[in-house]
Structure 1
């Protein structure tokens, strides 16, 4: 009987030890939360993909500039840390986040259900949509994105983006070609090598205005609903709470409005571009 009780006691001690170890592990993980890591490092590593006007770009001096860049700088300032942009290809940004190469995605990323299965999103900082930018040889013939759903048309967009998703989903009959950068895709249409580009309204609007001349025209009404938001790793409620509160604050204290005017309503920033 005593031996049996001894075995039970030992088993209970084993369970207690396991619980204590699990609790210690949880505490250790909590100590390595994203906020704590950022504050300890003194840096906020932001994943970007430079070239997305006017959100993330590189000016003629090699400096990263843009609407979302400035928003992220404000975030770093609010945390009392250094803003560190980590520039990479768009399709590598989520893997970089999941492997802790960056702390947050600030790369004009659209919230999609597919992406949301892998990462969490903060409250959207802007809502946009996809629009067709079309070579002028089709002026008067193409009046809607639906008119492009034909094998006679070649459609382009940037690899791994919602522009690519929209082109394949809404224009399945058209020929599709992807590019590493949005600028390369846009130039394909400008030079008459493709018929239309499907991409985010801010970019297509700016590119058409600056370089289109009589070679491009834009269907300005977006045919998709796309909230852009920052992405973080799952299982970090403290960080997402902080970021959502930051977004509420900046949208209501005047800073957001000033930055919006600077990048969307003014053209001064274009003087610094190459």
Structure 2
């Protein structure tokens, strides 16, 4: 049955991409340049497990990486992962240094003013990672908004925006990556990390004896999307149709089980 589903997916992708290739002739879309170059450049941070990270051989892996591989395969081109700090990814897309960004990006109105989004391909949410159980058991964010607290969040992230908006009295210390942010919590430099829920859960698994606690459920709704160049209707249409194909074939579900529910990949994490 699994083989039949994979065959059906391949057939859908072949039919879908063939139709798009026919429609794309002469449009001047970025799809033309990608097809001509034979390379799809995807920007990612490679430090946001389980979405994107490096394995012990310094090779990117994760849900975002698998998704990028499927996209390149459907386009019939090679995949080139361009690793940059999270804060530099969208500027790289706007500058034409990458063709798209797949890196745990939340779809927000502010970001959507500058770039286009396809998706969401995954739903996440914000949570707290801390050593203080009283923080994660607070019934609302009002108690978290205090000058007595210091939080860390990824630079230029929606987590940092959340702290500035909901906890303006608190001190915010931004980090360039999650390893740095978690270390701030472990070394008591800050009271808590505000991050995507799956990042907090992963940190609990990685540091089981450090006294860390987190929320049982995320306290915000975060739709993650694929960032694309603004104004390229053909490419946006291609990506929306591709994601629909992935959903209907259950391939997205399988990816999420592999990277979010099954922790076996942790043994290969750098």
Measured after TM superposition, the shift of residue 147 of structure 1 is 2.5
Matched residue, 1:255: 251
Q: Which residue of 2 aligns with 1:69?
A: 65
Match of 1:182 in 2: 178
Tell me if the contact between 2:106 and 2:224 (Cα under 8 Å) persists in the aligned partners: yes
Question: Aligned to 1:242, what secondary structure does the other structure show?
Answer: helix
1:214, distance to aligned residue in structure 2 (A): 4.4
**Whose radius of gyration is greater, 1 or 2?**
1
Where does residue 102 of structure 2 map in the other structure? 106
Q: C-alpha distance in 2, partners of 1:98/1:79?
A: 22
Q: Distance in 2 between matches of 1:226 and 1:78?
A: 27
Residues 1:201 and 1:158: Cα distance change in structure 2 (over 3 Å): same
Aligned pairs for 1:63-212 within 5 A: 63-135=59-131, 138-140=132-134, 143-144=137-138, 145-212=141-208
The unaligned stretches of length 5 or more in structure 2 are 1-25
Are 2:233 and 1:237 equivalent residues in the alignment? yes
2:16 corresponds in structure 1 to: none
- Structure 1 distance, partners of 2:60, 2:241, is 26
CA distance in 1: counterparts of 2:200 and 2:97, whole angstroms: 31
RMSD of aligned residue pairs (Cα, Å): 1.5
Q: Give secondary structure in 2 for the equivalent of 1:183.
A: helix
Q: What do the CA deviations read for 1:191-249 (whole angstroms, capped 9, x no partner)?
A: 22211111100111111122142421001322221100001111111111110010000
What is the Cα deviation at residue 59 of structure 1? 0.6
**TM-score relative to the length of structure 2:** 0.86
Secondary structure of 2:87's partner? helix
Q: Which moved more, 1:92-101 or 1:143-152?
A: 143-152
User: Could you list the runs of 4 or more consecutive aligned residues of structure 1 that deviate by over 3 angstroms after TM superposition?
Assistant: none
Partner Cα distance (1:141, 1:229) in 2: 29
Cα 1:115/1:140, change in 2 over 3 Å? closer
Q: For 1:178, what is the secondary structure of its paired residue?
A: strand
SS at match of 2:174: strand
Give the CA deviation at 1:148: 2.1
Q: Structure 1 residue 143: deviation in Å? A: 1.6
Match in the other structure for 1:51: 47
Counterpart residue number, 1:40: 36
Using the alignment, how far apart are the partners of 1:91 and 1:139 within structure 2? Answer: 30
* In 2, Cα distance between equivalents of 1:62 and 1:141: 35
Instruction: Indicate whether 1:217 and 2:224 are aligned.
Output: no
CA distance 1:126–1:142, change in 2 (3 Å): closer
Q: Helix, strand or coil for the counterpart of 2:119?
A: coil
- Choose between structure 1 and 2 for higher RCO, CA contacts under 8 A separated by at least 6 residues: 2
In the TM superposition, what is the alpha-carbon distance from 1:162 to its structure 2 partner?
0.6
Cα deviation code 1:58-90 (max 9, x no counterpart): 011010000011011001001110111000011
Distance in 1 (alpha carbons) for counterparts of 2:151 and 2:228: 32
